[in-house]
Chain A
Amino acid sequence: MNAIEIQNLTKTFGQKRAVDGLSMTVPQGAIYGFIGENGSGKSTTEKCVCGLLRPSNGKITLFGKDYRDKTVRSQIGVLIESPGCYPNYSVWNNMKLQAANLGIADENEQIRRVLHLVRMDGAASNKFRNCSLGMKQRIGIAFALLGNPQLLVLDEPINGLDADGMRIMREILTELSRNGCTILISSHILGELEKIATHYGIVRHGKMLREMTAEQLNAECPTFVALKTPDNNTALAALKGRYPNTEYDPERQEICVYGGVAADTVGYLYNEFGLAPTEVRTDKISLEKYYINLMREGN
Chain B
Amino acid sequence: MIKLDVKDFAQRLRSMLRVDLRRMFTMPTVWIMLGVSLALPIVILAMTSFVGGTSVNPQTGAQETIETFTNVWQAIGSSGGAMSMDLTSMCNINLLYFLAAIFVCVFVGEDFRSGYVKNLFTVRSQRADYVASKTLTLFAAVAAMFALYFVGALIGGGIAGLSFDVAAVGASVGGIVACMISKIFFALVFVSIALTLAVVGKQRLWLSILGSLAGGMLLFTMIPMMTPLDSGAFNVALCVIGGTLFAVGLGAISTVILNKTDIV
Contact = CB atoms under 8 A, between A and B. Distances in A.
- A is bound by B: yes
Interface string B54-83: 000000000000000000000000000000
Contact of A101 (B2, B15, B28, B110): B15
Interface in B95-143: 110, 114-126
A86 B23 contact: yes
A105 B1 CA distance: 11
B4 interface: yes
B264 interface: yes
Nearest to B19: A100
Interface of A: 47, 50-54, 68-70, 73-74, 76-78, 80-89, 93, 96-98, 100-106, 110, 143, 147-148, 153
- Interface SS majority for chain A: loop
A237 B141 CA distance: 78
Contacts of B15: 100-101, 103
Contact of A84 (B1, B6, B27, B117): B117
Interface stretch (B84-92, B205-213, B246-254, B255-263): B255-263
Given A73-B122, A96-B22, A53 B116 contact: no
B2 A110 contact: yes
Interface in B1-45: 1-6, 11-12, 15-16, 18-19, 22-23, 26-28
Interface residues of B, number: 36
A53 B202 CA distance: 14
B121 A52 contact: yes
25 contacts: A47-B264, A50-B118, A50-B122, A51-B121, A51-B263, A52-B118, A68-B125, A70-B125, A73-B125, A74-B4, A78-B122, A80-B264, A81-B115, A83-B115, A84-B114, A84-B118, A84-B119, A96-B22, A98-B119, A100-B18, A100-B19, A100-B22, A102-B4, A104-B4, A104-B5
Interface in B220-264: 260-264
B98 to A, nearest CB: 25
B60 to A, nearest CB: 52
A139 to B, nearest CB: 12
A87 B19 contact: no
A97 B115 CA distance: 13
A97 B124 contact: no
Given A76-B122, A100-B16, 15 more contacts: A47-B264, A50-B121, A51-B122, A51-B125, A51-B263, A52-B121, A52-B264, A54-B260, A73-B124, A82-B115, A84-B114, A86-B114, A88-B27, A100-B15, A110-B2
| The 5 nearest A-B residue pairs measured at CB | A84-B115, A103-B6, A148-B2, A105-B3, A84-B118
Contact of B262 (A54, A68, A80, A87): A54
Contact of A104 (B3, B23, B116): B3
Contacts of B262: 47, 52-54
Nearest to A68: B125
A101 B26 CA distance: 17
A241 to B, nearest CB: 56
Contacts of A47: 262, 264
A102 B125 contact: no
A103 B14 CA distance: 10
Contacts of A81: 115
B238 to A, nearest CB: 36
Contacts of A104: 2-5
Nearest to B130: A101
Nearest to A82: B115
Contact of B263 (A53, A73, A87): A53
A68 B122 CA distance: 9
